[in-house]
Amino acid sequence: MRYLLSACIVGIGVLASTSGLTAPSDVIDGPLIRPEVSSSDPRDLSGVWYIRLYNPQINSTLGRLPPFTARGKAEWDARVKAEKDGSPMADASSYCLPHGVPRVMNSPYPIQIIQTHGETVIVHEVAHNIRHIYMDQPHPPTLAPTFMGDSVGHWDGDTLVIDTLGFNDRTWIDEIGVIHGKQMHVIERIRKIEGGHALENLVRIEDPEFFTEPWFARITYAWRPDLRIAEYVCEENNRNMPVSGHTVAR
Amino acid sequence: MSGRVGLSLVCCLLALTAAAAACAQAIYNPPPGQNFEGVWLIQGDHSAVKTIDGRLPPLTREAATRYAAAIRARRAGKPDFDTIQTCKPHGFPRILFAAFPIEVLQEPTQVTFIHEVHHMPRMVYLDLTLPRLDDMDPNWMGLSAGHWDGDTLVVESQGFNDLTTLDAAGLPHSTQMRVGERIRKLDADTLEDIVTITDPKWYTKPWSTRVTYRRQPGLRLKEYACMDSNPEVRR
């Protein structure tokens, strides 16, 4: 209880200091279908959220590129060069395959969080990605690698902690060229900030093949009580379906 | 600003006065009869949808010709009419008849159906009045509005494109189609959906079909990556 009280006081302080800060995705532009602010229950994350200040490149919280291994740096350089040369390399999402984690959490489209008994589900507008986060249980003992990995969650105070592993190596971490391997381990810490007007996701990424040490990225999302998730069918008209691993403009 | 501070103050007052239990996350508990939560799997083969009494739906003459052509194309191994061949969505209501699990999530104002096939979500909004059909931008899954009639979830959906068929066999539908549903539990482990199709372009009158789903305790939806069947993508 004391924890919650101090969180509230901190919340008021943050509001006072950041009330002038808005991103385009913060702007509510339709009739409200949910309360103007997310509920006062810090563990109720349900509703629609929209990334703020989307950046296709995921920087670490230190404001620079992640701590690449030589391999990670080489893969980054190859992707940046291909893009410059006009023949971008294709990731899974270019083929309308699932975006993967954490990539899907850094997408310029709204997401809807739905919380039920034993599971938290995130419905992503982009390419109808779905995340299933099973609460308060361990990962299965054996995991076949997947695009989205296997996610389990629990509450640490008022922070939802999501632990994800079991990835294939076909998705990227960002849209530019930070990639990962099958050993990647992602831990997200998601909590409400600014009195329920926003959500913070502190993402810890570990993959010894591509990074010399674990690193963090921070993504925030605005509460959007006016939005419903729209239909997004990548497969319908993918103008940039890659050929031989490279995106082709048509 | 004053509104925000007001809310925060309410939050603090709650924290000071509420019992510890009130601080725990409040997850919605649907009334027992209306609780459809869980993972369900369709019963029986609905690849060629029939009316409730097992007959061919009331096709117009033109629709019957089109339907027969679809069946011939499928038999010949070239069902070009079938959007799922190229990983496009099943569309609604065909996705209801697919032999893949469906997970139901419930909130006070929304019932969400997550279809394993194509990881496609369908939201049924309980707080929505459907716009006029002419004002809608047609898409694959349409827009669904629902309400509770006792323990039956009554859903109306419209706003569909005409790129899909109603079933795998090839029953046609137009952009004018409206789909009604009455979804209820027959017992703790059986969900029934009575689906009514109204589409004057292809059917001489509204008609209904019936589908049931069996609860799948402990089953989790698997990842589904249709585009992996594309040879360019496979590796």
Instruction: For chain A, positions 84-113, list CB contacts with chain B under 8 A.
Output: 95-98
How large is the ipTM?
Answer: 0.88
CA distance to partner chain A, nearest, from residue B25 (Å): 5
Confidence of residue B16 (pLDDT cuts 50, 70, 90): very low
B32-229 — its CATH code? 2.40.128.20
Instruction: For chain B, positions 57-116, list CB contacts with chain A under 8 A.
Output: 86-89, 103, 105-107, 109-110, 112, 114
Do residue B140 and residue A231 have CB atoms under 8 angstroms apart? Answer: yes
Do residue B120 and residue A128 have CB atoms under 8 angstroms apart? Answer: yes
Angle CA B146–B132–A237, to nearest 5: 85
Alpha-carbon span B28 to B112, nearest angstrom:
13
- The per-residue pLDDT for A59 is 85
Tell me the percentage of chain B whose pLDDT exceeds 90.
80
Instruction: For chain B, positions 38-57, list CB contacts with chain A under 8 A.
Output: none
Residues of chain A positioned with their CB less than 8 A from the CB of B225: 97-98, 147
Instruction: For chain B, positions 131-170, list CB contacts with chain A under 8 A.
Output: 139-141
Taking 90 as the threshold, does the pLDDT of residue B7 lie above it? no
A contact test, residue of B9, B27, B83 with most A CBs within 10 A: B27
Nearest to B105 among A37, A121, A241 (CB): A121
The pairs formed by B117-120 with CB atoms below 8 angstroms and a separation of 24 or more are B117/B90, B117/B224, B118/A128, B118/B84, B118/B87, B118/B89, B118/B90, B118/B224, B118/B226, B119/A98, B119/A128, B119/A129, B119/A130, B119/B221, B119/B223, B119/B224, B120/A128, B120/B89, B120/B90, B120/B95
Task: Please list the pLDDT of chain A residue by residue as tens digits (250 residues).
Answer: 333 433 433 343 334 334 445 567 888 888 999 999 999 999 999 999 999 989 898 888 888 899 999 999 999 999 999 999 998 998 898 889 999 999 999 999 999 999 999 999 999 999 999 999 999 999 999 999 999 999 999 999 999 999 999 999 999 999 999 999 999 999 999 999 999 999 999 999 999 999 999 999 999 999 999 999 999 998 887 777 787 788 776 6
Alpha-carbon span B99 to B117, nearest angstrom:
8
Do residue B11 and residue A15 have CB atoms under 8 angstroms apart? Answer: no
Class of domain A2-236: mainly beta
Give residue limits of the domains in chain B: 32-229
Confidence of residue B91 (pLDDT cuts 50, 70, 90): very high
C-alpha to C-alpha distances, B143 to A231, B34, B91, B152, B159, nearest whole angstrom: 10, 21, 11, 19, 6
Do residue B121 and residue A130 have CB atoms under 8 angstroms apart? Answer: yes
CB of B120 within 8 Å of a chain A CB? The answer is yes
DSSP characters over chain B: -HHHHHHHHHHHHHHHHS-HHHHS-------GGG---EEEEE-S--SS---TTSPPP-B-HHHHHHHHHHHHHHHTT--TT-GGGGT----TTGGGGSSS-EEEEEETTEEEEEETGGGEEEEEETT-PPPPGGGS--BSS-EEEEEEETTEEEEEEE-B-SSS-SSSS-----TT-EEEEEEEEEETTEEEEEEEEE-TTTBSS-EEEEEEEEE-TT--PPP--GGGGSTTT--
Q: Which residue of A has its CA nearest to B6?
A: A12
Do residue B125 and residue A15 have CB atoms under 8 angstroms apart? Answer: no
pTM for the full predicted model:
0.89
Do residue A114 and residue B87 have CB atoms under 8 angstroms apart? Answer: no
Tell me the percentage of chain B whose pLDDT exceeds 70.
86
Instruction: For chain A, positions 177-236, list CB contacts with chain B under 8 A.
Output: 195-197, 228-229, 231, 233, 235-236
- The per-residue pLDDT for A242 is 80
**H or E element: which one contains A152?**
strand A150-156
Name the least confident of A192-206, B9-23, B149-163: B9-23
Do residue A36 and residue B140 have CB atoms under 8 angstroms apart? Answer: no
Do residue A121 and residue B14 have CB atoms under 8 angstroms apart? Answer: no
Mean pLDDT of the region B60-76: 96
